[in-house]
Amino acid sequence: MTMTERDEPLTPAGRLFVQPGMDQVINCAISVDDPIDVDAVKTEISNSVLVKHPRFSSIMVKDSCGRERWRKTEVNVDDHFIIRPEPLNDDPSVSDEDAVNDYLADLCVSTPLSLTKPLWEFHLLLAHKCAVLRLHHALGDGISLMSMFLSCCRRADDPTQRPTTHGIGTSSTSSNNRNVWSLLKKLSKVIWYTLVYVIEFCLRGLWLKDKRTAVSGGDGVELWPRKVATAKFNIDDMKTVKQAIANATINDVLFGIISCGLSRYLDLRSPKALKEGTQITGVAMVNLRKQSGLQDFSQLMNSKSGARWGNKFGMLLLPVYYHKGGSDPLQYVRRAKAMIDKKKLSLEGPCSYKIGDFIMSFSVKLARLVNYRIVSNTTFTISNVIGPQEDITFGGNHISSVRVTSTALSHAITMHMVSYAGKADMQILVAKDIIPDPKVLAKCFQDALLEMKEAAQEVGKN
């Protein structure tokens, strides 16, 4: 058996993530309370499951047909560490968070991962008590990579235990008996919404695009310089809003915040008022595993569990709409919930996965083109990954925050939210020539949640 025959092919999604224009590297900034002990971090990584994982101990090569494959190699941990002892900015007035965000913004457009070693590395920013873990998206999706990260951490209140994963982010389903008529009615909605959304998905890959606004990107924007800002949310505030609207979810609240925040920002940036109800479409990834929420690492590595490591997601087009601010900010959440409820009934996610899989089997260049056009014809990217609910440590050092962003796409706005110990940080990556003031945009999102919380509290009183 030759070496090539022993190499393992990349999954279709993995192959897509290494194509020009779609090449995706995830940059995870992990801030800690105490100074970073470099030797202790290296020892922790050397002894972790990370270096033993098949994907994290393989380099990516191409076979004689040009197909990307994983080839097993020896991991030299030292090769995966970049140490920056000096401050990233000479200006003492610049906060650690801003300095790290500027560093991440530069990584998003100018620094690919080396193909001569496994596709991950740690940047230790010692002066800022921060480690930036860089991972290629071909290694896995948010669920897989979060499970890997948590397997290397321990609970702050009990260092002998790993962070809790079971049951976090899962949703309960109603077990009420339904009559035949209601089941037929639901089935008809599933068929109708699936048909409508799959047709729109296909049209987005051809010519259908959002109306241009002050936050629109487009072809070639993935190469433009970036800025990063952080919007900070309290999970309890989001839960307060959720409880004010029957059967709402945190994702409903998140999209209400995005709709309200973008509307506020467009009011500030648009010299001419936008038409009420203008659609602003986002691209989101939906987990297609049988079990939703956080996954235990051992489950993901068990091929018989049905969970599966890797990139197991479908693509959803999630529209929000521009609206002038009114007296009831909860209306943004109600509209978002109505949209997401329809999306949940449809099979858009699984269908988009199958469509992409089919096109990839036919032509990887065509698949790249279709996906690139879908991104170019929409306005923003959004993801929401659930992190641990309790405080955690890495190498004995308490983690204060976890923030995630990724390589730039042709969108002018990319938003990644990660929750951790009752807080949620959303990294807002923008093309700075289109959105020069991402901190203003972040504040629009934060203010939107606070107004929604006040409105929800009034509803509770009444």
The DSSP code for 117 is S
Residue 390 exposed, middle or buried by CB count within 10 Å (0-12, 13-18, 19+): middle
Residue 342 exposed, middle or buried by CB count within 10 Å (0-12, 13-18, 19+): middle
Q: Are strands 397-406 and 392-394 parallel, antiparallel or unpaired?
A: antiparallel
Judge contact between 208 and 317, C-beta under 8 A: no
Provide the 10 A C-beta neighbour count for residue 116: 8
Q: Which helix (H) or strand (E) holds 6?
A: helix 3-6
Residue 168 exposed, middle or buried by CB count within 10 Å (0-12, 13-18, 19+): middle
Known catalytic residue at 80: no
C-alpha–C-alpha distance, residues 251 and 433, integer Å: 30
Can you name the residues that pair with 416 across neighbouring β-strands?
383, 427
Judge contact between 123 and 111, C-beta under 8 A: no
User: Could you identify the residue written with the tokens 């807080």?
Assistant: 423
Per the residue annotation, which of 137, 166, 323, 416 is the catalytic one? 137
C-alpha–C-alpha distance, residues 430 and 30, integer Å: 21
Judge contact between 63 and 7, C-beta under 8 A: yes
The residues assigned a catalytic role are: 137
